[in-house]
């Protein structure tokens, strides 16, 4: 039954939105590696010197004063496609016209939101502490047109990472998404659409002024380097029962009970902590 519904959704997607079929194709391409064989990931994943994720050690951090982020379009409301890639749950906004963009915050250009996905447990750790989940909002420099082109350029991709802490209450902002994860969790490559619109600012903490910054890589093959990482100091909250939507995802080899890459060497890379120079009232720029 789930597969039949999936067939209908895929057919609908192919007929009405080339964006969906592009996502399905991308999910297919991603499917031939696993978290169980990280030593067998392609060359750069093992030979690279600027890999992610890392443990952020705050005692040895350098302070910086980047200008505040300017987020545009993150409070607009979108439907979204939710895909089980076999390695994560990926969310693509159905944004035919306006793509949310972000600039400043030490970024060398204007970056458009490509997609959001999740890791459980977190990939980055702070002073050795691993969080129950981590969200990655993947952005590309608009001058490169799309994320696949941007990743071949230094600073072409900027990923915003948000860590989660467990709370006893559900995070209701995720209500439009969780039931859709349930629709795709059994089938690798399956995509379903939210039946409610939501704003991508649900993926960000309210206060985005404090964050860690370093240059690293994608945390999945091919582990391309030159990625600008921003890890917000403020966390989002999620309940245990919401995390269980993630841990019910099926991969090609069974239940995807966790999907984080092992920590990588920092190798003398500078890691910055942004301290905002502005008073609090100017810092709530996502909303
Ligand atoms: Zn990720």
How many A from CA of 89 to the centre of ligand 1?
10
How many A from CA of 103 to the centre of ligand 1?
21
How many A from CA of 168 to the centre of ligand 1?
25
pLDDT of residue 194: 98
65 in a structural domain: yes
Question: Measured between alpha carbons, how far is 21 from 159 in angstroms, rounded to an integer?
Answer: 24
CA atoms 10, 11, 16, 18: torsion sign: positive
- Domain count along the chain: 1
pLDDT in tens, 244-282: 999 999 999 999 999 999 999 999 999 999 986 555 554
- Assign 203 a pLDDT band (cuts: 50, 70, 90): very high
123 in a structural domain: yes
pLDDT in tens, 65-120: 999 999 999 999 999 999 999 999 999 999 777 899 999 999 999 999 999 999 99
How many A from CA of 219 to the centre of ligand 1?
6
How many A from CA of 183 to the centre of ligand 1?
21
What DSSP element (H or E) covers 191? strand 191-193
Q: Is 225 helix (H, G, I), strand (E, B) or coil?
A: strand
pLDDT of residue 218: 98
Question: Measured between alpha carbons, how far is 128 from 226 in angstroms, rounded to an integer?
Answer: 24
How many A from CA of 27 to the centre of ligand 1?
14
How many A from CA of 217 to the centre of ligand 1?
10
How many A from CA of 117 to the centre of ligand 1?
6
177 in a structural domain: yes
Tokens of 232: 């917000």
How many A from CA of 14 to the centre of ligand 1?
26
Task: Note the pTM of the prediction, 2 decimals.
Answer: 0.87
Which range of residues forms the domain containing residue 148? 2-282
How many A from CA of 119 to the centre of ligand 1?
6
pLDDT > 70? residue 28: no
287 in a structural domain: no
How many A from CA of 228 to the centre of ligand 1?
13
How many A from CA of 88 to the centre of ligand 1?
8
Residue ranges with CB less than 5 Å from ion ligand 1 = 136
Of 35, 30, 73, 27, which Cα lies nearest the Cα of 192?
Answer: 27
Q: Picking from 3-7, 40-44, 64-68, 118-122, which range would have the lowest pLDDT averaged per residue?
A: 3-7
pLDDT in tens, 129-154: 999 999 999 999 999 999 999 999 99
Question: Residue 218 sits in a domain of what CATH number?
Answer: 3.10.200.10
HSE, CB side, 13 Å, CA atoms: give it for residue 87.
Answer: 19
């Amino acid at each position: 039954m789930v597969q039949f519904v999936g067939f209908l959704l895929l057919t609908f997607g192919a007929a009405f939105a080339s964006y969906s079929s592009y996502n399905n194709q991308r999910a297919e391409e991603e499917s031939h590696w696993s978290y169980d064989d990280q030593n067998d990931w392609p060359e750069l994943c093992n030979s690279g010197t600027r890999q992610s994720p890392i443990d952020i050690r705050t005692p040895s951090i350098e302070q910086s004063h980047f200008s505040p982020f300017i987020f545009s379009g993150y409070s607009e409301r979108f439907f979204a496609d939710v895909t089980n890639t076999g390695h994560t749950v990926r969310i693509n906004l159905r944004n035919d016209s306006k793509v949310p963009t972000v600039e400043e915050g030490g970024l060398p250009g204007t970056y458009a939101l490509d997609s959001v996905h999740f890791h459980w447990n977190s990939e980055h750790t702070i002073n050795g502490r691993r969080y129950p989940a981590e969200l990655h909002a993947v952005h590309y420099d608009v001058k490169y047109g799309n994320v696949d082109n941007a990743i071949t350029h230094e600073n072409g991709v900027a990923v915003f990472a948000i860590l989660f802490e467990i709370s006893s209450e559900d995070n209701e902002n995720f209500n439009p998404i969780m039931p859709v994860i349930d629709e795709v969790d059994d089938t690798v490559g399956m995509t379903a659409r939210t039946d409610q619109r939501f704003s991508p600012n649900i993926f960000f903490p309210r206060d985005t002024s404090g964050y860690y910054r370093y240059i690293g890589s994608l945390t999945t093959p091919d582990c391309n380097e030159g990625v600008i990482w921003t890890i917000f100091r403020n966390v989002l909250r999620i309940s245990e029962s919401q995390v269980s939507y993630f841990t019910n995802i099926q991969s090609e080899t069974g239940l995807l009970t966790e999907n984080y890459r092992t920590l990588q060497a920092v190798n003398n890379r500078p890691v910055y902590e942004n301290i905002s120079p502005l008073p609090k009232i100017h810092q709530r720029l996502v909303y």
